[in-house]
Structure 1
Amino acid sequence: MDFVTLAGLLLAFSSVFLANWLGGGEIILLLNLPSAIIVIVGSVGATLMQSSIQDALRAFYLAKWSLFPPTYDFSFARTFLIDLAQKARRTSLFSLESDIANFSNPFAARALQMAIDGTDPELLADRLHDEANRIHDKRMASVRFLESIGGYAPTLGIMGSVLGLIQAMANLDSPSALGHGIAVAFVSTLYGQGFANLVMFPIAKKLSSYVDQELLYHQLIIDGVHGIATGKHPQRLDIELNSYE
Structure 2
Amino acid sequence: MDLMTLAGLIIAFSSVLLANWLGGGEVILLLNLPSAIIVVVGSIGATLIQSNVREAIRAIALIKWSLFPPVYDFNSARTALNNLAHKARRLSLLSLEEDVALLANPFASRALQMAIDGADPELLADRLHDEAARIRDKRMSSIGFLESIGGYAPTLGIMGSVLGLIQAMANLDSPEALGHGIAVAFVSTLYGQGFANLVVFPIVKKLTGYADQELLYHQLLIDGVHGIAVGKHPHRLELELNTYE
What range is the shorter-chain TM-score in? over 0.9
Opposite residue 196 of structure 2, the aligned amino acid is A
Distance 2:102 2:210 in 1: 23
C-alpha displacement of 1:100: 1.6
2:201 is aligned with 1:162: no
CA–CA distance in 2 between the matches of 1:154 and 1:206?
21
**CA distance in structure 2 between the partners assigned to 1:32 and 1:103 by the alignment:** 51
Deviation, structure 1 residue 95: 1.3
Larger deviation: 125-134 or 101-110?
101-110
Matched ranges for 1:1-245 at <5 A: 1-245=1-245
| 5+ long unaligned stretches in structure 1 | none
* Partner SS, residue 118 of structure 1: coil
The residue type equivalent to 1:219 in the other structure is Q
CA distance in 2, matches of 1:195, 1:100: 45
In the alignment, the residues of structure 1 paired with residue 124 and residue 240 of structure 2 have an alpha-carbon distance, to the nearest angstrom, of: 18
Q: Residue type matched to 1:201 in 2? A: F
One-letter code of the match for 2:39? V
Aligned residues: 245
Instruction: Quote the Cα distance in structure 1 between the aligned partners of 2:5 and 2:103.
Output: 28
User: 172-181 or 225-234, which moves further after superposition?
Assistant: 172-181
Q: Counterpart of 2:47 in structure 1: which amino acid?
A: T
Give the distance between the partners of 2:224 and 2:178, measured in 1 at CA.
69
Gaps of 5+ in 2: none
- Identity of counterpart residues, as a percentage? 80
Q: Any idea what the Cα deviations from partners look like across 1:118-167, whole Å, max 9, x if unmatched?
A: 11101110110000000001101111111110000000000000000011
Q: Compute the RMSD of aligned alpha carbons.
A: 0.6
The whole-number CA distance in structure 2 between the counterparts of 1:51 and 1:186 is 30
Q: Per-residue deviation at 1:10? A: 0.4
User: Whole-Å Cα distance in 2 between the matches of residues 104 and 57 of structure 1?
Assistant: 25
Instruction: Find the aligned partners of 2:183 and 2:102 in 1 and give their Cα distance.
Output: 60
Shift in Å at residue 101 of structure 1?
Answer: 2.2
In structure 1, what residue type is equivalent to 2:159? M
Deviations 1:81-139 (A, max 9, x none): 00000001111111112212222111111111111111110111011000000000110
Q: Structure 2 counterpart of 1:22, which letter?
A: L
TM-score, normalised to structure 1, is: 0.99
Please give the alpha-carbon distance, in whole angstroms, between the structure 1 residues aligned to 2:134 and 2:209: 17
The alpha carbon displacement at 1:173 in A equals 1.2
SS of equivalent residue, structure 2 residue 173: coil
Q: Distance in 1 between matches of 2:125 and 2:106?
A: 16
Task: Report the secondary structure of 1:48's partner residue.
Answer: helix
> Using the alignment, how far apart are the partners of 2:161 and 2:183 within structure 1?
9
Structure 1, 98-107 or 223-232: larger mean CA deviation: 98-107
Runs of 4 or more off by more than 4 Å in structure 1?
none
